[in-house]
Amino acid sequence: MEERYFIDLDAVTAQEKQTLTHNIHSYPAKFIPQIPGSLLEYLRLPAHSLILDPFCGSGTTLLEAAVRGYDAAGVDSNPIATLISRTKCTPLREEQRAQVEAVLSQLPLFDPSDEKRLSIPVFLNRDHWFQPNMLRELGYIRALTASVAGGAAADFLNTAFSAVIVKASNQESDTRWRAVNKNHPDGFALAEFHKKAVDMLARVRELEKFSLGTVTVATQDSRNLDFLRDGSAAAAITSPPYMNSFDYYLYHKLRMYWLGYDHYEVQEKEIGSRNKHCDNGRGVETYVESIFEVAQQVYRKLAGGGYLCVVIGDSIFRDELISMDEVYRRIARRAGFTERETFSFDQRKYTRAFTPNYKTAAKRSHIMIFQK
Ligand SMILES: C[S@@+](CC[C@H](N)C(=O)[O-])C[C@H]1O[C@@H](n2cnc3c(N)ncnc32)[C@H](O)[C@@H]1O
């Protein structure tokens, strides 16, 4: 590798960040598509190589790989992540598009008093998190989407539904687990769902211009990647969960209630959650050992000379700044990798700090390239 990896983050426009299906659903700490995109350009891998993302989140790496004709395999323990990933990378056939349009055509028929056509799940503190009018509208959308059985159209509708649930709830924001009074007017959830689905239909259509690689997505813990053949991947490009920064299981909890997923199971598997490190006091070693297990798995799945590209941000733990480039350097070496390059930048410049103080000011993000 004679030249050095470089990405000019300031040169990426807001429109470029939201290109294709990348922005169909919000996702905490997703990276901009230009990061995996530029890494793929830089690595110059053979055509049809397999690209792995063991923490695929909303599928940014998978789509960037697929539009370049690479095959991609994504894994995430959170079913909301894998739902978004599948939808993001899947063009709809005409009959699937028609199934979606048939659901949208029924939205104006909503009758809040017609209990038989509402599917409202029972869950803890439901009325604390949802206004009565939003419960009924979401219950109607849920019944309509459930009438489409499996496949890409069902994924599409569930993704649009998921994108609206937090908005239509009392949850303050995607990354704040607190109820606030939003005073949603009647018709809000139905209108948001319709707007979202129409926008997604246009975006998914754009995928038809590409000869997409095959994308496989698995909902499971990445500490076991047995479903993939050893030596089959040319590169892994991933942004692992930041330590002690997020609780994906919590931010998606309302979505999981409505879509029928078990959030306890998801919470248990989640690496690096604030719940594990802050609330339950687990130390840095717990995080390091979990990531090490994944790094070992990835090492096995890569072909000789294959690359592991990691995008990670520094963390604050027990009031101390943890330099994650050092942590990942140690983990990767221990798993057998050789470090090729590290590119670091000021984290504050590109992400909003939740608790800005003098320590978060020193936080950096790192793009690290290792090789088997
Ligand atoms: C930083 S996010 C990835 C975001 C992704 N790059 C994107 O652009 O959307 C990290 C992901 O790791 C997932 N994760 C946490 N623990 C996991 C585990 N044990 N196995 C698989 N995925 C896990 C989280 O659910 C989260 O989606």
Residue 47's pLDDT is 97
Report the mean per-residue pLDDT for the chain: 94
297 lines ligand 1 (CB under 6 A): no
CA of 218 to the centre of ligand 1 (A): 12
251 lines ligand 1 (CB under 6 A): no
Which residue has 């990896």 as its token pair? 5
* Confidence band for 319, pLDDT divided at 50, 70 and 90: confident
Q: What is the pLDDT of residues 45-91, one digit of tens each?
A: 999 999 999 999 999 999 999 999 999 999 999 999 999 999 999 99
At CA 79, angle to CA 348 and CA 271, rounded to 5? 50
- Residue among 179, 217, 247, 196 at smallest CA distance from 29: 247
Q: Is a pLDDT exceeding 60 seen at residue 353?
A: no
For residue 47 the two structure tokens come to 């055509």
Distance CA 153, CA 156 (A): 5
Residue 175's pLDDT is 86
Q: Which protein residue has the closest C-alpha to ligand 1 atom 1?
A: 241
- Residue among 72, 64, 14, 11 at smallest CA distance from 39: 64
CA of 215 to the centre of ligand 1 (A): 17
* Confidence band for 325, pLDDT divided at 50, 70 and 90: very high
The dihedral through the CA atoms of 36, 38, 40, 43 has a sign that is: negative
Q: Is a pLDDT exceeding 80 seen at residue 352?
A: no
CA of 128 to the centre of ligand 1 (A): 28
Q: Are 93 and 269 in contact (CB under 8 A)?
A: no
* Confidence band for 223, pLDDT divided at 50, 70 and 90: very high
CA of 7 to the centre of ligand 1 (A): 23
203 lines ligand 1 (CB under 6 A): no
Residue 231's pLDDT is 98
Query: Which ligand 1 atom sits nearest the alpha carbon of residue 81?
Result: 27
Query: Which ligand 1 atom sits nearest the alpha carbon of residue 290?
Result: 19
Q: Which protein residue has the closest C-alpha to ligand 1 atom 19?
A: 221
Q: Is a pLDDT exceeding 60 seen at residue 35?
A: yes
Q: What is the pLDDT of residues 299-308, one digit of tens each?
A: 999 999 999 9
* Confidence band for 244, pLDDT divided at 50, 70 and 90: confident
Average pLDDT estimate for 29-42: 95
Q: Which of 174, 267, 270 to mutate to test the pocket of ligand 1 (most atoms within 8 A of CB)?
A: 270
Query: Which ligand 1 atom sits nearest the alpha carbon of residue 242?
Result: 1
329 lines ligand 1 (CB under 6 A): no
Average pLDDT estimate for 195-222: 98
Query: Which ligand 1 atom sits nearest the alpha carbon of residue 238?
Result: 6
Q: Are 67 and 210 in contact (CB under 8 A)?
A: yes
Average pLDDT estimate for 200-226: 98
CA of 183 to the centre of ligand 1 (A): 33
248 lines ligand 1 (CB under 6 A): yes
For residue 309 the two structure tokens come to 């590209």
- Residue among 156, 157, 183, 158 at smallest CA distance from 169: 183
Residue 316's pLDDT is 87
Q: Which protein residue has the closest C-alpha to ligand 1 atom 8?
A: 30
Q: Which long-range contacts (CB under 8 A, 24 or more apart) does 256-262 make?
A: 256/79, 256/80, 257/121, 257/123, 257/126, 258/121, 258/138, 258/142, 258/161, 258/162, 258/165, 259/79, 259/80, 259/83, 259/158, 259/161, 259/162, 260/121, 261/79, 261/80
The answer to whether the predicted template modeling score (pTM) of the entire model surpasses 0.85 is yes
Domains located in the chain, CATH noted: 9-85+213-245+271-371 (3.40.50.150), 94-208 (no CATH)
